Structure 1
Amino acid sequence: MAGFRKGDHGDPQSVRYEAAGLRWLGAAGGAAVVEVVDEGPGWLETRRVAQARPDARAAEELGRALARTHAAGAPYHGCPPPDWHGDGFMGRAALPLRGSAPASWGEFYATDRILPYLAAAVGNGAIDDDGARTVRRCAERVAAGDHDAAQPAMVGDVARLHGDLWSGNVLWAEDDGTAVGTLIDPAAHGGHAESDLAQLGVFGAPYLDRIVAAYDEVSSLADGWRERVGLHQLHILIVHAALFGGTYGDQTVATAARYT
């Protein structure tokens, strides 16, 4: 089967970052990751995936496997994949990455995952001035540590994240008659494991409840994780508000308001 070849998102570095993330996630020995076949200036070739229809059993296996990926860990919040220097990419958006550890997860999440996208979302009209104040108040509380929480049981201080784990970035690959959840298009970095799990719910992953339940069985989630889902979705929402405008701005503000 021929490979799948893709171009960059307007910056040739984006596919290099993607390839680095795929290799880092694959090295974790957890969730299946699409194989990098080759790469060059501005392009990336991966193994083509024959897709299958997922079922509850496949979803549960993805949950268990994702727990192992997260448990492989990362040096610090906001770290890049090995040998990557500078910022990364989340689709067409820049993704701030750090050269050293932040003071806390909250400081990292507020400074690098919420606030960098606010100006663009205001500029395109998705978020008005009142909404921007709400987002900033939320970011202040996050930075202060008001919403910090423990990682799942198998994870140390920092999880190894896919980083852009909406449902479209999980392909269900056919393997001897079964479906295997396979990760593609990462924005890989070190962070909080709840972020990947929350992102799966933004656009509705199939059998999401079974994915999370199986994850929780092998790597128990910290108390109150359900109440933090919106907080961990805030990054992907504000990125969409910055890139695409429209109702993503309203969703961002409404979500931020819950954590002010």
Structure 2
Amino acid sequence: MDLAYLRAHPHQVPMFIEHQRIRCTPVPGGSVGVAQRLTLDDGGDVFAKFVEDGPKGLLHAEAEGLRWLAAADGPPVPELIAVADEVLVLDWVPTGEPSAKAAEEFGAALARLHQAGAEGFGAPWQGFIGRLPQDNGPGDDWPSWFAARRIEPYLKTSRDSGALSTQDAALVGAIAGRIADLAGPAEPPARIHGDLWPGNVHWAADGRAWLIDPAAHGGHRETDLAQLGLWGGAPHLDRILAAYDEAHPLADGWRERAPLHRLHLLLVHTALFGASFRDEVVSAAARLR
């Protein structure tokens, strides 16, 4: 099993692993499926993500997003080597340490990615975020599209499961009804990563910050920037944001709008993991009242 054979026969990777024909090393990155470092017969390493029981099309959607992000002059993304229903294989990117220089370069590159734009809000492929479906259907304007396709589905799931109370859901629902008033100046669709919490920025040994695990689509650029501030924030976040703003200036008030853009990912977490994320959802919504 060398790289050329793997590209041509990705569906055979699980069989080669089962029969111990490929050396496998477990690695972090298995929140959806199982992540492995595979060492091939030619000595090269690749990253493989296996999802045997996931929803149909999940890995193909990630592959589409990686291709789309790679087509822009933005932050680097791992090369897509192969994809099949149960396995996604990417180039292996050795881990490094965050640096201020890499952060500034990442901020400028993220600005270029967003400026590459999209044909509209959403994407031509069915989306996923984690294991949850994510509706990438089109919309005429960002506020109504964001409410209908990024807030309301995960709010309903969170309410129905009991992760959010009726009162919590009413608070968030009221915010969803006011997005047009809260969104700031209208902007064209940006080419965004879509799930850009700090864990999806891979600080590599080559001195760059890479994008991984996208839920890519045409959206609002402030969504990516707001998500970078979640859960402690990305390393050197101030440098990232300053370099971004210098390359692609942000509209006034973008920091105050960050809770709106974070609501989507926070609701995804209550939908997936339950009430442990309830306080963060309610706090973000309360800041927007």
TM-score computed with the length of structure 2 as normaliser: 0.81
Match of 2:227 in 1: 199
1:3 to 33, 42, 46: 46
CA drift at 1:254:
2.1
Matching residue within 239, 242, 249 for 1:210: 239
Q: Which residue, out of 169, 172, 193, partners 1:132? A: 169
Q: Deviations over 1:49-87 (max 9, x none)?
A: 11110111110110000000111000111234xxx3xx3
CA drift at 1:258: 2.4
| Helix, strand or coil at the partner of 1:255 | helix
Q: Which residue of 2 aligns with 1:16?
A: 60
Q: Equivalent residue for 1:233?
A: 262
Q: Secondary structure, in 3 states, of the residue corresponding to 1:94?
A: strand
Q: How many Å separate the matches in 2 of 1:117 and 1:167?
A: 21
Q: Post-superposition shift, 1:118?
A: 1.4
**Paired amino acid for 1:96:** D
Matching of residue 97 in structure 1 with residue 140 in structure 2 = no
The secondary structure found in structure 2 opposite 1:160 is strand
Q: Separation in 2 of the partners of 1:56 and 1:27?
A: 26
Per-residue deviation, 1:123 = 2.7
The number of equivalent residue pairs is 244
Distance (whole Å) between structure 2 residues aligned to residue 135 and residue 149 of structure 1: 19
Letter paired with 2:230 = V
Q: Which residue of 1 aligns with 2:24?
A: none
Q: Which runs of 4+ in 1 moved over 3 A?
A: none
Q: Structure 1 residue 240: deviation in Å?
A: 0.3
State the partner residue of 1:185. Answer: 213
* Structure ID, larger Rg: 2
Contact 1:127 1:250 in 2 (8 A): no
Aligned mates of 2:172, 2:85 — CA distance in 1: 38
| Structure 1 residues 54 and 67: CA distance shift in structure 2, 3 A | same
CA distance in 2, matches of 1:10, 1:41: 9
Quote the offset at 1:245 in angstroms. Answer: 1.1
Q: Name which of structure 1's ranges 242-251 and 5-14 shifts more when overlaid on structure 2.
A: 5-14
Are 2:146 and 1:146 equivalent residues in the alignment? no
Which whole-Å CA distance do the structure 2 matches of 1:71 and 1:170 have between them?
19
Give the secondary structure class of the aligned counterpart of 1:223. Answer: coil
Shift in Å, 1:18: 0.3
Aligned partners of 2:193 and 2:229: how far apart in 1?
14
Provide TM-score, normalisation by structure 1: 0.90
Matched, 1:163 2:207: no
> Percent same amino acid among aligned pairs?
49
Kept in 2, the 8 Å contact 1:162–1:196? The answer is yes
Q: CA deviation at 1:124?
A: 2.8
Query: How many angstroms does 1:103 deviate by?
Result: 2.9
**Is this contact kept in 1: 2:103–2:240, CA < 8 A?**
yes
- Given that residues 15 and 43 in structure 1 are in contact (C-alpha distance below 8 angstroms), is that contact kept between their aligned partners in structure 2? yes
Q: How far apart are residue 22 of structure 1 and its match? A: 0.3
Give the partner amino acid of 1:219.
Answer: H
Structure with greater contact order relative to length (CA < 8 Å, sep ≥ 6): 1
C-alpha offsets along residues 28-69 of structure 1, whole Å, 9 cap, x if unaligned? 011111111111222110011111101111101100000001
Q: 2:90 aligns with which of 46, 56, 64?
A: 46
Moved more, 216-225 or 6-15: 6-15
Instruction: Report the Cα distance in structure 2 between the residues aligned to 1:183 and 1:236, rounded to whole angstroms.
Output: 17
Work out whether residues 164 and 186 of structure 1, in 8 Å CA contact, stay in contact via their aligned partners in 2: yes
